[in-house]
Amino acid sequence: MQYIKRTFWLMFQMGNKLPLDRNKYAFFALLAVPLTIFEVWYALAGEFGRLELAIVFVVPMYVISFLAISYAPDVHRSTLGDYILSSLSLIGGLYLISQMGRYHDWISGLSEFLLLDLAVAGLYLLLTLELLRRCVGAGISVVVWLVIAYCLFGHYLPGFFGHRNLEWSYLLEGLVVSPQDGGLFSAPVQIAAVYAFLFVTFGKLLEKSGGGEFFFNLAALIAGRSAGGSAKVAVTSSGLFGMISGSPAADVMTTGPITIPMMKRSGFTGRYAAAVEAVAATGGALLPPVMGAVVFLMVEFTGIAYGEICAAILASALLYYAAIYTQVHCYSCRRNVGKIDGSLVPTLWTVIRTGWVFVVPMGILVYDMLGSHTPAVAGAGWRVWGRRR
């Protein structure tokens, strides 16, 4: 009974990020470094089908993810089950890679679906559902489970909600193999492989080289001396860092450890400080030039140029941050909190002297994105005139 209760409890829980030891770090690097080099090569000169790119991109991601994220929030090390799932991801992925030629020319309903295709597709469906639970939790996971259950058993429902019987092979073909039916390796994953991965890598390199500190100092210079300065620094720094990361989670992890304690020391409650940081970081997915992966989906599906989408969203993003800024200002004035020590505010010369180098890659990225270069080429950091992808 205890086992059943824990299994049911796990269905609605997320995992947590696991610490890396030396062996695991080396193994991750063995997969991630060649993948990164391959992604940069593809963006600059590669002639490779997007379906094949998506398969090559997903396989090492699955292998790493099962060892990087625990199966439960109270587990802080990789278990035997994690290693088994990671190994299954690798074995099934190698089969998918070996069949890329077949899948490239796949025609749904006409191409022959082999028994081994069915087994690997079923395996990757289960692996995807498990990773979804670990990374996202119950919200989206339950919806996906219900949709799959409806596809399998909906033919038993009477009336309007019923549908014809769908065979397992047909369902797995559409969910995993067939790109025409929006399977696992269809447009969203292809966009992540072609564009989003490069921009996340760019933001991470900028962060690790000191870009996060530069944006914090710039934010402190802009807003540090005003009313509620500590919270305004949090809002401004989260917005600036969000411009290069496009990821609210990365934004919180980078700026949060600095801004939240600073807000608490200046009189804000812990709950309010965390709320300000979370809301400000969320807006990072709206700010050009990187934004979130959704912008690349918009480019792909609508055919609208990236620069036009950036121009359209910029006003909304600025209004979003203006609303947060105004709320923080009113709250700080009403409660007389948030004053920041003047010694913590850097001078303009200090910000320029220590951070001018980070403006250069940002400027090149914006210039390339708004110019004649594709997002993939701009994200790879290389200017190739006339390149289209």
Domain membership flag for residue 276: yes
Do the Cβ atoms of 255 and 238 come closer than 8 Å?
yes
Q: Which residues contact 291 (CB under 8 A, 6 or more apart)?
A: 246, 285, 310, 313
* Cα 39 to Cα 32: distance, rounded to the nearest angstrom: 10
**118 and 172 in contact (C-beta within 8 Å)?**
yes
- Preceding peptide of 188 cis, ω within 30°: no
Q: b/e per residue, 287-322, with b = 16+ CB within 10 A?
A: bbbbbbbebbbbbbeeeeebeebbeebeeebeebbe
* Domain identity same for 181 and 204: no
Q: Are residues 240 and 103 in the same domain?
A: no
CA proximity to 236, closest of 251, 216, 263, 212: 216
How many angstroms separate the CA atoms of 9 and 2, rounded? Answer: 10
Same domain, residue pair 266 and 235? yes
Close Cβ partners of 71 (under 8 Å, ≥ 6 residues apart): 10, 15, 79, 81, 82, 130, 134
Q: Is residue 388 part of a domain?
A: no
- Residues 249, 368 share a domain: yes
Looking at the structure, tell me whether residues 20 and 59 fall in a common domain.
yes
Residue at 247 is within a domain: yes
Classify residue 355: in a domain, yes or no. Answer: yes
Asked if residue 68 belongs to a domain, the reply is yes
Count Cβ atoms within 10 A of the Cβ of residue 76 and give its class: 0-12 exposed, 13-18 middle, 19 or more buried.
Answer: exposed
Please name the amino acid found at residue 117: D
174 and 94 in a common domain: yes
Give the SS3 label for residue 205. Answer: helix
Half-sphere exposure of 199 (CA within 13 A, CB side): 32
- pLDDT tens readout for residues 253-273: 667 777 788 788 778 888 888
Asked if the structure places residue 192 within a domain, the reply is no
pLDDT in tens, the chain (389 residues): 666 666 666 666 777 888 888 888 899 999 989 988 888 887 777 677 778 888 889 999 999 999 999 888 878 888 899 999 999 999 999 999 998 888 877 776 677 778 888 889 899 999 999 998 888 877 788 888 888 889 888 888 888 888 888 888 888 888 887 666 567 887 778 877 877 787 777 767 776 777 767 777 777 777 767 777 778 888 887 887 777 767 777 677 667 777 788 788 778 888 888 898 889 888 877 887 777 667 777 777 777 877 788 788 888 888 999 999 899 889 888 888 877 766 667 777 877 877 777 777 767 666 666 555 555 555 555 544 344 44
The neighbouring-strand residues paired with 17 are: 69
Take residue 263 and report the two structure tokens written for it: 């807000």
- Co-location of 166 and 208 in the same domain: no
Task: Report the number of distinct structural domains present in the chain.
Answer: 2
Question: Which alpha helices (DSSP H) does 192-305 contain, by range?
Answer: 197-206, 212-223, 229-245, 248-265, 270-282, 294-302
Domain boundary residue among 160, 185, 210?
A: 185
Task: Enumerate residues 6+ apart whose C-beta is below 8 A from 250.
Answer: 200, 203, 204, 207
Chain centre distance of CA 210: 21
| Residues 208 and 173 placed together within one structural domain of the fold | no
Dist. CA 125–CA 122, nearest whole Å: 5
- pLDDT of 13-63, one tens digit each? 777 888 888 888 899 999 989 988 888 887 777 677 778 888 889 999 999
Please tell me whether residues 144 and 271 are part of one structural domain: no
Q: Percentages helix, strand, coil for the chain, rounded to the nearest 5?
A: 75, 0, 25
Q: Which domain, by its residues, includes 338? A: 198-380
Shared domain check, 361 and 285: yes
217 and 99 in a single domain? The answer is no
Domain end call among 185, 211, 241: 185
Q: Give domain status of residue 190, yes or no.
A: no
- Please, is 185 exposed, middle or buried when counting C-beta atoms within 10 Å of its C-beta (0-12, 13-18, 19+)? buried
Same domain, 14 and 97: yes
Last residue of a domain, one of 155, 185, 215: 185
- Residue 387 within any structural domain of the chain: no
Give the separation between CA 28 and CA 326, rounded to whole angstroms.
44
